[in-house]
Structure 1
C-alpha cells in the first residue's frame, strides 16, 4: 500500500505541465520503466490507456481511466484492469499568483498489487521509483519548455 503525496513549485505554467502529463502516449519516451503506451479511447475529458511497465525481469500491463479536467488543470487516474488491487493518482497544477510562470504541483499516488511478492519488491523500491518518476516529468518539462 505505498502512498506518496508531494507539492512542489515548478517554473512552468499550469497549461504546460497539464499538457505534458495528459500526453500519456508519449510516456515511453521519457518515463522510467514505461516500456509502451497504447491509447484505447480519447476525448477532451477522458483517456483509457494501456501501459506496459517493466523493471528487470518483471513486466506488467495495466489499463487506467484518466479523467481530464483542463479548466481546473487537474488529471485523475483510476485503475481499470491489470496487476493492481487498486491504483489512485492525481496531478493538480495551480498557478502561483505572486509568481507568474510558476506552478504549484500537487501529486498523489496510492496503489497495491495483487501479487504479494511483487508488492514486497515495489515497497522496497517505491520511494526511489516515485522520485525518479517525478524527476522524469521535470526533465521532460525542461526539454520541452526550457
Structure 2
C-alpha cells in the first residue's frame, strides 16, 4: 500500500490557506491535472466531492468524503467509491514564525494484486509529483499579492 507525504512552507497565515483548501471545487482552476471537482453534498463540516483527474492521459475518477475540523484547520478525506481500492489522507497546516507548513498525505492502494507490484511504484511517483504540484499551486495562490 503506497503512502505519500509531501510538505511545503508558505509565507502566509494558515487562516489564509485553510479556506482555499476547503474550496475543492476550485482546485481545477489552478491544478492542471484535475479535470473537475464537483461538490455533491455539503454539510457544516463535511463535503462529498466527485473528482476527475488526468494522469498522463489516464482518467482516474473517485468520490470522496471530506471532513473539516475548522478549529484545528485540518482536513481528512477518504474515497467512498472510485477507481482505486483505497484512497485517503489528510491536509495538515502547521504554523511557524512567518508562515505555515502545508502537509498533504495520500494513502492508496491500486487494488489489483497481480499488477500492484509493477504499478504501485509508478503510481506512487505520479502521486508524489501530483501532490508536489498541488502544494506549489497553492503556495503560488496564497503568496500572490492581493
TM-score w.r.t. the length of structure 2 is 0.84
Please state whether the residue corresponding to 1:71 is helix, strand or coil: coil
RMSD in angstroms over aligned alpha carbons? 2.1
- In the alignment, what sits opposite 1:136? 137
Whether contact under 8 Å (1:78, 1:88) holds in the other structure is yes
Mark the runs of 5 or more structure 1 residues left unpaired by the alignment: none
- In the alignment, what sits opposite 2:4? 4
Q: Kindly provide the CA deviation profile for residues 37-94 of structure 1, in whole angstroms up to 9, marking residues without a partner as x.
A: 1100112200100010112431122000000011110000111100111112111213
- In the alignment, what sits opposite 2:99? 102
Q: 1:126 to 1:40 in 2, by over 3 A?
A: closer
- In the alignment, what sits opposite 2:124? 123
Mark the runs of 5 or more structure 2 residues left unpaired by the alignment: none
Cα drift, residue 2 of structure 1: 2.7
Equivalent-residue separation in structure 2 for 1:59 and 1:83 (angstroms): 9
- In the alignment, what sits opposite 1:53? 53
Equivalent-residue separation in structure 1 for 2:82 and 2:110 (angstroms): 9
Number of residue pairs aligned between Structure 1 and Structure 2: 142
